[in-house]
Structure 1
């Protein structure tokens, strides 16, 4: 806990050092009704948590950045013993300020009054602009109130700047504290995928395999998945964001599982594809090994100094050649790449940033150019090959869908695969499944 708090204090200092004087306003999320009086599980705003470590709903971080001093203020729910009987522990402002290292903290019901005071004579506002309409309205209301004081000599902020232009860049480069959590999340997820491999068999439903993974996440200390799991057998594996997870798995099907756990707010994101009966058919093996070769080719470009798009280009080149080798496409490799005909079987990019959000923040291009990889970046590498029935598809290859995904940390010397414990060669998968049976 103390390491998290110290890290968040340092992040707030880093953010302030990159901004000109003004007021920073970063709210977290609120509890949302699912139906009747039942709420969706609460999950804090990632940017707010990154700077505070505070996990309660309905809180706001305010930074007052001066020429020589920065003040960090938290607004949060008041201490309320009656509500705590029903809903659980609350820090309250006094304990939150002491515990999380704020200069001051106030109850949320004072927000309107104090924000009008805090905005006075500030040159600019930093805020996640247009992220949530409710907070846009709040900012406008407070700003209007401050402007109305002009005759008293009070000046209002002259500009509103999206704080995410700086905050997202900070979040893109993971520190050692974050890397440790991501590595642990990757290990938890790897073992859950192994459990799925050893559990799955023909005749089960996809959701039964999903339940085994969720059980293993909770058993290992992850309290929630990082996103809605994709557990897709047979033809369902050719639907990129399949989410029903309710089909019966048949003998001879491949099962594609794209699932991740969340640990202390940080995501893991692994995809594995394996035969429900434990043995790849020759056609499934051929497609699978092309995808695996594409991932290995992409890994070669996961190192400092490489450009983001080189990862995708390397994977796509291997996949396109594999499509030609299988007779699914015709022409030369250059023709297939130039015309984009490979997109019949591979229609998505090869990865994304990952961190507090599974599709994490950070621009992929800077001033119109693909971003250069740097140590501390974390990204996924996930080539795929999806063969829907079509005139140019032999019957034996119909409805084969394969994706292989790992999470990669860029290091000074190259990269670390955060999911190295999760088997993925044909031989490894078949051996793990045989041992499970």
Structure 2
């Protein structure tokens, strides 16, 4: 396992408490278990915010932080399930409060069943409460109950919090820049996913079903220690590749088609996100190769636009210019209608063939938290990149049949996606072991194990 050291979680809690109003309290629950059907639950996955601050993976848990005030230092308090030998026979190991306190470095730990008694005591005379405002109706109701319990003590001179703040924006900004432990996990997740894509390419051949290729991915993820796929895998052959979020994965491939695979694993709470597109028979046709190399060139332009201080929007703009120039050159966009690439972009002439952005933040969530614009300025410009930010770079082109669209490109969908971390002088690709060049792909597809 490559989870972050206990000291990293404690440091994150300390950073968050330092950003809070002195003496204020923050309440952060983890995700609940969810029933799938009957008495069976979906595989449990913790809440990302909660895990970011604790490293604790058990359900029915709540973290409470009390910010420092005067001579009183900040405190961290974990509420979790008690030890229960009988339930552990059925459901597995539980830490219990005492062991959890020692193992995860919190200052106090209590049984989760005591939270309705303890929270009013903790909130008494606190000036403010931070929690995920309006994001969870059950939490909103419990917070109201705790605050009402404190207000009932007003005659004794006890005061309830009179300010309520959304906790999540503070955590979003913290999570946006990854530390060394996070980057190590994400590099490993990227490597596992790159190996999985290579495995799927080797297993490809005309007639294979999309779900067979998906099975190769899932096997490779789990075999290398990843706990989950980071999202539902997309294995899209032929015209399905022109459907951005296709995930039925039930079609049989045909000779001469491309297969677009968008898949990544989750390792120790962190996601990877890779897309590769390849010919199922191992050889690109002329039309497929032309569009593939256009998308590849757009990705290279995007990489070159990533560096600290440059705007987030810059790498999308760089990729878009390459794509639109290619669309004009290939007749996908009518050159006679536009005087320049800029004119075609302004008219959104590319949208029928490229309708999404060129990336997104990546971290504990596939589409990770953090603002894309600098909200401290009135015009909200694209925010500048910083070293330690992790993002995806995923240009694509999707050609559906249509009037005026050259027929040789019909039903070709191509996307190429890699995960990159912003470095001090540019960016570093975390997923470079996934085959990507035409030569690499043609040498690998259908070659088996």
TM-score, normalisation: structure 1: 0.98
Q: 1:119 to 1:302 in 2, by over 3 A?
A: same
Q: 1:409 to 1:137 in 2, by over 3 A?
A: same
Q: Whole-Å Cα distance in 2 between the matches of residues 259 and 159 of structure 1?
A: 43
Q: How does 1:147-158 map to 2 (within 5 A)?
A: 147-158=151-162
Q: Whole-Å Cα distance in 2 between the matches of residues 47 and 434 of structure 1?
A: 41
Q: CA offsets per residue over residues 171-203 of structure 1, 9 Å max, x none?
A: 000000100000000000000000000001111
Q: CA offsets per residue over residues 376-435 of structure 1, 9 Å max, x none?
A: 000000001000111021221110000000000001121110011111111111012264
Instruction: Report the counterpart of residue 338 of structure 1 in structure 2.
Output: 346
1:295 aligns with 2:308: no
Q: Whole-Å Cα distance in 1 between the matches of residues 82 and 384 of structure 2?
A: 45
Q: CA offsets per residue over residues 47-81 of structure 1, 9 Å max, x none?
A: 10000000001100001113241111000011000
Runs of 4+ in 1 over 3 A off after TM superposition: 434-437
TM-score, normalisation: structure 2: 0.96
Shift of 1:291: 0.5
List runs of 5+ in structure 1 lacking aligned partners.
none
Instruction: Report the counterpart of residue 428 of structure 1 in structure 2.
Output: 440
Q: 1:15 to 1:251 in 2, by over 3 A?
A: same
Q: Whole-Å Cα distance in 1 between the matches of residues 433 and 68 of structure 2?
A: 48
| SS of aligned partner of 1:366 | coil
Shift of 1:5: 1.1
Q: 1:2 to 1:164 in 2, by over 3 A?
A: closer
Instruction: Report the counterpart of residue 244 of structure 1 in structure 2.
Output: 248
Q: Whole-Å Cα distance in 2 between the matches of residues 19 and 414 of structure 1?
A: 33
Q: Whole-Å Cα distance in 2 between the matches of residues 304 and 432 of structure 1?
A: 36
Q: CA offsets per residue over residues 300-348 of structure 1, 9 Å max, x none?
A: 1111111000111011111111111111111331221110010010000
Q: How does 1:32-431 map to 2 (within 5 A)?
A: 32-67=34-69, 68=71, 69-330=73-334, 331=338, 332-367=340-375, 368-431=380-443
| SS of aligned partner of 1:343 | coil
Aligned residues: 437
List runs of 5+ in structure 2 lacking aligned partners.
none
Q: 1:2 to 1:28 in 2, by over 3 A?
A: closer
| SS of aligned partner of 1:342 | coil
| SS of aligned partner of 1:106 | strand
Q: 1:3 to 1:171 in 2, by over 3 A?
A: closer
| SS of aligned partner of 1:144 | helix
Q: CA offsets per residue over residues 286-307 of structure 1, 9 Å max, x none?
A: 1111100000000011111110
Q: 1:402 to 1:3 in 2, by over 3 A?
A: closer
Q: Whole-Å Cα distance in 2 between the matches of residues 336 and 413 of structure 1?
A: 32
